[in-house]
Amino acid sequence: MLEQIKKRFSLSQKGAKDFCKGVFFTILFDIILMLPAVFVFLFLDDYLRPVFEPSLSPARGLLYYSLLGLVFMAVMYVVAVLQYRSTYTTVYDESANRRIMLAEKLRKLPLAFFGEKNLSDLTATIMDDCTDLEHTFSHAVPQLFASVISTVLIAVGMFFYNWPLSLALFWVVPLAFSIILIARKKIYKDFQINYAAKRAVTEQIQEGLDTVQEIKSYNQEEDYLKKLDVRIAEYERSQTKGELLVGIFLNGAQSLLKLGLASVIIVGSMLLAEGVVDLFTYLIFLVVGTRVYNPINEVMNNLAVLVYLDVRINRMKEMEAMPIQHGRTDFMPSGYDIDFDGVDFAYESGKQVLKNVSFTAKQGEITALVGPSGSGKSTAVKLAARFWDIQSGKIRLGGMDISRIDPETLLKNYAVVFQDVVLFNASIMDNIRIGRRDASDEDVIRVARLAQCDEFVRRMPDGYRTIIGENGETLSGGERQRVSIARALLKDAPIILLDEATASLDVENETKIQTAISELVRDKTVLIIAHRMRTVANADHVVVLENGTVVEKGSPELLKKQNGLFSRMTSRQIR
């Protein structure tokens, strides 16, 4: 049963056990809530029956009932505390574990996944979906199971006591639940539409924040706001429709429940008039009727949340089902040659990016990947670091298949500098230190000087302690690139991946940084994406890609003489 609960509600093993415990104590709590009715029953039985049967007298005094009332209150308090801890407290723990689990899942996904997935979508799953699940499991799901079970138990007991009045009291319950079950599929479908509309609004806002510079530069504010208004209006309509639908069915079911007490009044009056039941029994059922529907009403009040739960859980299951990258962590290569052997790769079915690509980037050499835009250069470099897993062929590092190596273990051997630099809202010192967390301040400053960062850092108000804003917004493109190069210098990894690392620099600084890069790449395996022929001139080996295939390989001097694609690209750039 635990496995079924885990699968149904996307819970951990401990979460499933806590869920069962929460259901148990909620059932107990629902039953304990009947203690006031039991107290009234005992009191009336002792003091009301003598009114109708003068030969009887109260068996117990008021002191007894005062103490009994205190005992009942104490029991209700203890059970309420246990129920709170077994639902609310444990649910918050499970929610924390769920967020950690999702974070761990994301950590083990291919890095390229984040380039394809909308980040606002991921953020909403981790934050909003987890929060909604937390609220649902603390306020609705255990109560649903508990209310059904406790109501059945109470109903069975009351049917044994007096079945005609019990039938009058409970006939509405299956009908009310039938209304909910009939409406569930329609409500679920509308919630899916509403959820998609809400996500569209979030993504539109995220897009506006990310591209605000372009929107303003091209006078697109009005067009953007119109699109946003359309998305908001769609979300508003779906929200209104969903609320109305839930309201109609929910209020209908709750109104039907109220007929139960009316039935008790009518049927009880008839039975009382016929002498089938006495006034005492009639009054007891009236008292119980005011309490017995509370658990059911509580579930119905959370109907929208309960139906919405499946939408959230399905998203969680989608993330849990995403394939993660595995591999051994005891990686000790004999060398750092990178060997592509008949590599095929496609981001999605039918869109082949690399076809039968074979080349070797040797340790101690600079291997340049050259080719037109869209030829697969960046893809090849990212595949070398296992950002994706290939469809066929082999990529080996030091003779070992990288698909068998844990990505985090593998990336310890790589220093990466791409054109799209990502910096953190922290100091320059901390941004560079990401390359090696245990580096001293002196080490950070040393590599910053090699990467030509020292000059602009010294002009800042707090020097290396200056906070540079989100993604380094206070720095120019060239300055951000230099910080990225300083990171790679500090990491001092045996493999260097460079995606035209000097593209954002002026000629003077490019010359200076080329000296730093010469230090960085010494005796290492270097794989560089080159667009400028000046960069290629320093390479030991050139691989020319076109339409995802290798069309030429060799030294720059050799390829120039072959009058192929490389020679034509060089000539065009010179012109």
CA distances from 478 to 437, 459, 532 (A): 24, 16, 17
Cβ within 8 Å of residue 333, ≥6 positions away: 397, 398, 399, 400, 413
Residue 386 phi/psi, 5° resolution? 60, 40
Last residue in a domain, options 271, 291, 321 = 321
Q: Report CA Rg, the chain.
A: 35
pLDDT of 433 above 90: yes
For residues 308 and 191, is the Cβ–Cβ distance under 8 A? yes
In a domain, 276, yes or no: yes
Q: Does a structural domain hold residue 327?
A: no
317 and 344 part of one domain? no
pLDDT of residue 515: 66
Q: Which of 320, 5, 312 is nearest to 135 (CA)?
A: 312
What pLDDT is stored for residue 305 in this prediction?
A: 66
The CATH number of the domain where 159 resides is what? 1.20.1560.10
Where does the pLDDT of residue 505 fall: very low under 50, low under 70, confident under 90, or very high at 90 and above?
low
pLDDT digits (tens, 9 = 90+) for 361-409: 999 888 999 988 888 888 899 899 898 888 899 999 988 999 999 888 8
Q: How far apart, in whole angstroms, are the C-alpha atoms of residue 381 and residue 369?
A: 9
Q: What is the pLDDT of residue 512?
A: 64
Total number of domains constituting the chain: 2
Please give the Cα distance from 153 to 21 (Å, whole number): 18
In a domain, 331, yes or no: no
Predicted confidence band of residue 440 (pLDDT cuts 50, 70, 90): very high
Q: What is the pLDDT of residue 152?
A: 82
- 229 domain residue, yes or no: yes
Amino acid at 262: A
- Based on the fold, state whether residues 317 and 227 are members of the same structural domain: yes
Q: Choose from 92-101, 144-153, 282-291, 540-549 the range with maximum mean pLDDT.
A: 540-549
User: Which of 292, 321, 350 corresponds to the end of one domain?
Assistant: 321
Q: How confident is the model at residue 501, as a pLDDT? A: 65
Whole-number pLDDT of residue 119:
64
pLDDT band of residue 34 (cuts 50, 70, 90) is confident
554-571 burial by CB neighbour count: b if 16+ within 10 A, else e? bebeebbeeeebbeebbe
Q: Is the domain of 301 the same as that of 346? A: no
Q: Is 328 part of a structural domain of the chain?
A: no
Checking if the pLDDT of 58 tops 70, the result is no
Token digits of residue 431:
């941004």
> What's the pLDDT score for residue 553?
92
- Per-residue model confidence (pLDDT) at position 397: 93
What is the average pLDDT across 239-254? 82
The parent domain of residue 363 ranges over: 338-574
What's the pLDDT score for residue 90? 81
Q: How far apart are CA 537 and CA 559, in angstroms?
A: 11
Q: What is the pLDDT of residues 120-142, one digit of tens each?
A: 667 767 777 777 777 777 777 77
Over range 430-436, report the average pLDDT: 90
**Res 165 pLDDT > 60:** yes
Does residue 304 have a pLDDT over 70? no
Is it the case that residue 17 has pLDDT exceeding 60? Answer: yes
Does one domain contain both 289 and 378?
A: no
Give yes or no: residues 13 and 161 share one domain: yes
Q: Is residue 261 within 8 Å of 188, Cβ to Cβ?
A: no
- Between residues 338 and 25, the one the model is more confident about: 338
Closest Cα partner for 502 from 521, 482, 520, 486? 482
**pLDDT tens per residue across span 306-327:** 666 776 777 777 777 777 788 8
Query: What is the pLDDT at residue 230?
Result: 92
Residue 223 resides in a domain? yes
Position 551 scores a pLDDT of 92
71 within some domain: yes
Residues 292 and 375 in one domain: no
User: What predicted TM-score, i.e. pTM, was given to this entire model?
Assistant: 0.65
Cβ neighbours, 10 Å, residue 88? 16
Give me the mean pLDDT over the 445-471 stretch. Answer: 88
Pair (206, 254) in one structural domain = yes
Work out whether the CA dihedral 247, 250, 256, 260 comes out positive or negative. negative
Give me the percent of the chain exceeding a pLDDT of 70: 88
* Predicted confidence (pLDDT) at residue 148 exceeds the cutoff of 80: no
Rounded-to-integer distance, Cα 487 and Cα 475, Å: 16
Lowest mean pLDDT among 53-62, 146-155, 196-205, 489-498: 53-62
**CB of 242 closer than 8 Å to CB of 197:** no
State the average pLDDT for the chain.
Answer: 82
Is it the case that residue 504 has pLDDT exceeding 60?
no
CA pair distance 436, 444, nearest whole angstrom: 9
What is the pLDDT, as a whole number, of residue 189? 81
Most confident of 141-145, 218-222, 516-520: 218-222
Q: Are residues 350 and 314 in the same domain?
A: no
Residues 343 and 311 in one domain: no
pLDDT at 150: 76
Residue where a domain terminates, one of 295, 321, 347: 321
Distance of CA 230 to the CA centre of its chain: 27
Picking from 550, 575, 112, the residue whose alpha carbon sits closest to that of residue 564 is 550
Q: Report the range of poorest mean pLDDT among 343-357, 398-412, 527-541, 556-570.
A: 527-541
More confident residue, 207 or 340: 340
- pLDDT tens, position by position, 189-198: 887 788 788 8
Same domain, 308 and 349: no
Q: 524, 496 in Cβ contact below 8 A?
A: yes
In a domain? residue 333: no
Q: What CATH number did the domain enclosing 411 receive?
A: 3.40.50.300
Q: Are residues 214 and 96 in the same domain?
A: yes
As a whole-number percent, the residues of the chain with pLDDT over 90 amount to: 14
